[in-house]
Structure 1
Amino acid sequence: MSTQVRVRQARVEDAAEMARVNVRSWRETYRGLMADHVLDDPALPAARERFWTAMLSDERYRANRVALAERDGDVIGIAMAGPAQNSESQWGTQLYVLYVVAAEHGTGTGAVLLDAVIGPHDSAALWVADPNPRAQAFYRKHGFVADGTVNMEDGVRVIRMVRIPSGRASDSSSPS
């Protein structure tokens, strides 16, 4: 039987493994949504490693919370949240990254990573690929709802989901 999932704060020396999980998750999840030439680009792992190195070492990103999940010494999931991009939003935090390798879907790893970077009652927003029914159901289970905002990122349709705990919204309407 495999060991428990261990979640911890990510460190700069984790960047290569985080990039590996990032690329693997994109390939497992976004094949058919994201262009094959992007997913299969041999430079993608190195680009994601540079991204994670910057996120974990550059002072500009110090306010971000970055966590990883390990099982049996292998990194199986990654998450990153930080200040909302729009300072006028009703949510204080934005979830920028939450990826778990497909073999670990349904194990609770995503939930512990989410809680590691965003408090369970914090107001927050995120963008999720559409269609991606599994991820959207996961976020709904954790209190997020689609607010009707749609965007295109790298050729992928994404929807915004928000979580605004009771009493935090600026008016009595709920996001729908």
Structure 2
Amino acid sequence: MIRIATLDDAEQMAKIHVQSWHETYTGIIRQEILDGRSVEDCKQLWQKLIVDQQHRITVYEKDGVVSGFLDGYLNPEQMIAEIRAFYLLKIIHGQGIGRAMFEQFYLSLKPEQHSTLRLGVLNKNPSRFFYEKMGGTAIGEESIPEYGKNIVEIFYQWEIQKIV
């Protein structure tokens, strides 16, 4: 089930965050970047963001175990909402869970408050094709040399449509 994250989820989210980075980026970005991610640091981050009203964080839970989460940022000063983090363990890829979580967040956005949804993803992350499949339009990119050679963040955008 997909539900709103609680503080009790922070540790599982932190473990997913670190594990997902290792599963996705080992051999792609510099190893010291991966080694610098700790569960404790990520746990503190998620504890802070879960209670932040500008973040709408949902988790995917099955049988009491969280195996994915999405952090949606609702910028109060701009008409742009962002997905700041979206991590699913590889064992649940391909089951439609990511699509359901993405769609739930997208459909929760109100066009009068946020006309655009954006996110950034590294060019060598296979999940970027998921965002293209979900209708995202690449609107730009930015080099991230500290991550390694030829690492680029690609920015995707969706227009929020009024549902009638």
* Cα distance in 2 between the residues matched to 1:55 and 1:9: 12
Secondary structure of 1:119's aligned partner: helix
Asked whether the equivalents of residues 66 and 117 of structure 1 are also in contact (C-alpha less than 8 Å), the reply is no
Out of 31, 37, 54, which is 1:36 matched to?
Answer: 31
* Cα distance in 1 between the residues matched to 2:24 and 2:161: 32
Alpha-carbon spacing, 1:8–1:153, altered in 2? closer, same or farther (3 Å): farther
Any residues of structure 2 matched to 1:51-66 within 5 Å, and which? 51-57=45-51, 61-66=52-57
User: Which residue pairs with 2:96 in the alignment?
Assistant: 108
**Which amino acid in structure 2 is aligned with residue 50 of structure 1?**
Q
TM-score of the superposed pair, with normalisation by structure 2: 0.82
Deviations 1:48-90 (A, max 9, x none): 0010011013xxx312110000122211101011124983xxx
Moved over 4 A (4+): none
Gaps of 5+ in 2: none
User: Which residue pairs with 2:40 in the alignment?
Assistant: 46
* Cα distance in 1 between the residues matched to 2:94 and 2:60: 14
* Cα distance in 1 between the residues matched to 2:134 and 2:88: 16
User: Which residue pairs with 1:131 in the alignment?
Assistant: 124
Say yes or no: does 1:146 pair with 2:138.
yes
Alpha-carbon spacing, 1:154–1:8, altered in 2? closer, same or farther (3 Å): farther
Aligned residues: 154
The alignment yields a C-alpha RMSD, in angstroms, of 2.4
User: Which residue pairs with 1:162 in the alignment?
Assistant: 157
Alpha-carbon spacing, 1:120–1:55, altered in 2? closer, same or farther (3 Å): closer
Identity, % of aligned positions:
24
TM-score of the superposed pair, with normalisation by structure 1: 0.77
1:118 is displaced (CA, Å) by 2.6
Gaps of 5+ in 1: 1-5, 168-176
